[in-house]
Structure 1
Amino acid sequence: MSALRNQHLSYSRLSRFEACPLSYRLHYLDKHTAEPGVPLNFGKALHAVLERLLQEVIDTEYAGPLSEERALQLYREAWATSGLCGLSLFQQGLGILQDFVRQQGHVDCRDILAVEKEFRLPVGPFTVLGFIDRVDWVDDETVHVMDYKSNHQLFTREELDASLQLSLYALAARRLWPWAKRVRLSMWMLRHGVLQETTRAEEQLDAALAYVETLGQQMEKAESFPARLNPNCVYCDHRRQCPTYARALTGQREVVCRDTGDLESVARERQEVAHLAKILGARKAELEGVLRAHLAEQDELVLAGTRYRMFNTTSLDYPLEPTVEVLARATGLSREELVERLASVEKKALDALLKDAGKRLGTARVALLKAELESLAAKHHSPRFWAKEVA
């Protein structure tokens, strides 16, 4: 094992090499200092709180509801050492943790098999090292492996079923709890309060092992480590040291379609432009943040021939009952006619109400309620362009 470039593999190493070989080299081989962004630090802070909160349940052999007060105390401690700042972000994290505590309901230490469980999985000449956020006992033949995610967007079914991370966790769980005939796998989407669940068939696990060994060999034999421009470049903790990212910030492109009849060329340029747009959009937001901070102290800035100001936009929301009453008097239409023509329930407001109701009704009742309401909803369809990179 000492002859190997990687003393061990991990999902993080594998996924970084897949996404961008240069990022992998800078991080693991050259050992450059990482500059993790806000999303990564925010996720780490939440993970730290949940790990300690549930580890205390195990250590004290506790059974009962989790404590919101204790979660807040742990969150303050994690926040203080995270380097994060901003009231809005703090409130987001606090809300996520409060929802998690309420969603848990009654917990029992006997049902939590492990928290932040380390595993070492032999794969050919390699050892895959990893940590599982949480494993619960379900019954005498089943364990439930969970990974906490603070992503804004939910995973698609395709992404969930193809996740290498969950495949590795399934293999690890089999070794750690050999009595378990079934392994349930979930991404716990903290922002949404949703567990996205999947399973793995035997052939999927065999394919995952073969893929990890193949990728490991590629990492060992690689002599060049090209940068691979992709939408996640804006989150990369080594983007400041990447010449490709630096060129992207200037808008430089390598692919220009000369013949729009060549669809392959069209697609290649479109993909590069999409990556650049995300990178430049993130940089624009970063620069605007600096200007906003200065505009909080003065009315306007005039810089590089451009005038900058902060201003308020106005939107109008008409209260239902008074509006219907005024219209009924003016038009002679009945209340029922006016409500049918004007009134609808905004989805975000409805979701927020159902989320609050879930604290009293329970998740099962709310799920049924959502299904009933969705059957009443008017569905509108419009064509949208979709693109996803394939291996």
Structure 2
Amino acid sequence: MSMRNSHLSFSRLSRLETCPLSYFLHYVEKRSAEPGVPLRFGKAMHATLECLEKEHIADERVAPFSWKRAVELFRDAWNAEGLSGIDLFNEGLRILRLFISDSGSVDHRSILGVETEFHVPVGPFDVLGFIDRIDHVDDETVEIIDFKTNFQLFTREYVDSSLQLSLYEIAIRRLLPWVKNVKLTFWMLRHGLRVHTARTPQQLDDALKYIETLGLQAEHAQDFPPRLNPNCVYCDHKKDCPAYAQALEGRRDFIAEDLADLDAVAREREDVAQKAKILYARKEELDNVLKAQLEQKNELLAGGMRYAMTRNATLEYPLEPTLTVLAKATGRSRDDLHEKLAAVDKKQLDSVLKSAARKMDRPHLAMVKAELEAHARKSYTPRLWAKEIT
């Protein structure tokens, strides 16, 4: 039969799931794409790591990755993607420092593949893809690593059900028949965090069935409706999307006329929430444009507005001198004040635990965390939670 897709890939399937219209514009009509800064930044980071790892292997090195070479490669990838802005450039350097530090000494022999291409037959389709990195763990085990530059951390639910990781394991078991165990990893580069998961044979079989179902859906669909979501602002076809344009204009799809009708209230609430996320993401995109201009000047006059970068001061009070001053001023004991005021910042605590994890086995670390949580004071803030019923 005549096929719309010469092949399938996770990118195609993900685009179809996220927004059928975006899939149609990109792969059926083949319109020229306009990738935004996050996509180009992610591409630059991936290109940097790919070259860094391949050169490490070619040089047969057993050592940390070269920081000097990483900067050179990132500079080349940065220019190739046409990126700009000192804050974004520095963020790239920060990610590279974190990656090299977390990698430690790397034995070139432990890396089995970088940007490894695969082809997997699924029903009438050929599924094509590339795996960022494949590491040797032991004689029966490999680790599949996919690098992510996302700001938001993936939930455990997302990682454990990721179609991308399932597809990669299916591919690696065909490429490397000797493999008995596969460790699946999302390496969240911005956070210096590696999130691991695994798949059962049943999960892999279910993934194959789902991939074929999505592929057939793409072949036979007659309509490709837009599906608004918070990532619309990053879509490379947003300029051709009428739904996105209407969202930016603040057009409402539904208004609850009777506030006693909870179904109507919920419907309007979700419509407003969706539009608000898109508008806020657009505001952030516009803010970044203005901030980039303000890197070169003290202030900017545009659209009848005056823009400038300001510095918001935050104060941190060192414990000992603060207790001394307050004890003298209030007459209260240092122990009493210490009980009322002293607390450990969770981010700093997580940083200390992450560092300690390198010298501690998992059971010991789990016991330490449990003991700390037992002493922690919990507070709760009411918050409305919403999730679509499926």
Q: TM-score, normalised by structure 2?
A: 0.90
User: Matches of 1:101 and 1:142 in 2, distance apart?
Assistant: 24
Range that drifts further, 290-299 or 318-327? 290-299
Match in the other structure for 2:328: 329
Q: CA deviation at 1:323?
A: 2.1
Correspondence list, 1:92-171, <5 A: 92-171=91-170
Are 2:135 and 2:144, in contact at CA under 8 Å, matched by a contact in 1? Answer: yes
Find the residue that maps to 2:187 and give its secondary structure: strand
Alpha-carbon distance between aligned partners in 1 of 2:241 and 2:385, rounded to the nearest angstrom: 29
CA RMSD of aligned residues (A): 2.5
> Residues 162-210 of structure 1, C-alpha deviation per residue, up to 9 Å, x if partnerless?
1111110110011011111111111111112221111111111111111
Distance 1:8-1:91 versus aligned 2 partners, 3 A rule? same
2:376 aligned with 1:381: no
Structure 1 pair 181/106, CA: closer, same or farther in 2 (3 Å)? same
What SS does the corresponding residue of 2:135 show, helix, strand or coil?
strand
Mapping for residues 160-239 of structure 1, pairs under 5 Å:
160-239=159-238
Structure 2 counterpart SS, 1:119: strand
Name the aligned partner's letter for residue 98 of structure 1: R
Greater mean alpha carbon deviation, residues 325-334 or residues 117-126: 325-334
User: Are 1:49 and 1:78, in contact at CA under 8 Å, matched by a contact in 2?
Assistant: yes
Distance 1:336 1:64, change over 3 A: same
Q: Name 1:363's counterpart in structure 2.
A: 358
Q: What are the ranges of 5 or more consecutive residues in structure 1 without an aligned counterpart?
A: none
| Cross-structure match for 2:71 | 72
2:6 corresponding residue in structure 1: 7
- Residue 7 of structure 2 aligns to which amino acid in structure 1? H
AA partner of residue 121 (structure 1): V
Q: 1:159 to 1:272 in 2, by over 3 A?
A: same
Asked if structure 1 preserves the Cα contact closer than 8 Å seen for 2:294 and 2:309, the reply is: no
- How many residues align structurally? 385
Which residue of the partner structure matches residue 49 of structure 1?
Answer: 48
Q: Distance in 1 between matches of 2:179 and 2:140?
A: 5
Q: Distance in 1 between matches of 2:80 and 2:39?
A: 14
> Which residue of structure 1 aligns with residue 269 of structure 2?
270
Q: Give the drift of 1:69.
A: 1.8
Letter in 2 for 1:343: A
Q: 1:250 corresponds to which residue?
A: 249
Q: Kindly provide the amino acid, as one letter, of the partner of residue 176 in structure 1.
A: L
Shift, 1:232, TM fit: 1.5
Deviating more after overlay: 90-99 vs 117-126: 90-99
Q: For residue 34 of structure 1, what is the aligned residue in structure 2?
A: 33
In structure 2, relative to structure 1, the CA distance for the partners of 1:268 and 1:366 (3 Å cut) is: farther
Please give the TM-score of this superposition, normalised by the length of structure 1.
0.90
The amino acid that maps onto 1:363 is R
User: Following the alignment from structure 1 to structure 2, what is the Cα–Cα distance between the partners of residues 239 and 298?
Assistant: 32
The structural deviation recorded for 1:383 is: 3.1
Percent pairwise identity? 57
How far the C-alpha of 1:353 sits from its partner, in A, is: 5.7
Whole-Å separation in 1 of the counterparts to 2:204 and 2:275: 36
TM-fit CA distance, 1:317: 3.0
Distance in 2, matches of 1:54 and 1:215, equals: 34
In the alignment, residue 161 of structure 2 is paired with which amino acid? A
Q: Give the deviation of 1:227 after TM superposition.
A: 1.0
Verify the 8 A CA contact 1:295 1:301 in the aligned structure 2.
no
For 2:213 and 2:245, locate their aligned partners in 1 and report how far apart those are by CA, in whole Å. 31
* Per-residue CA distance 1:90-145 (angstroms, 9 max, x = gap): 12111111111111112112211111000000000000000000111111111111
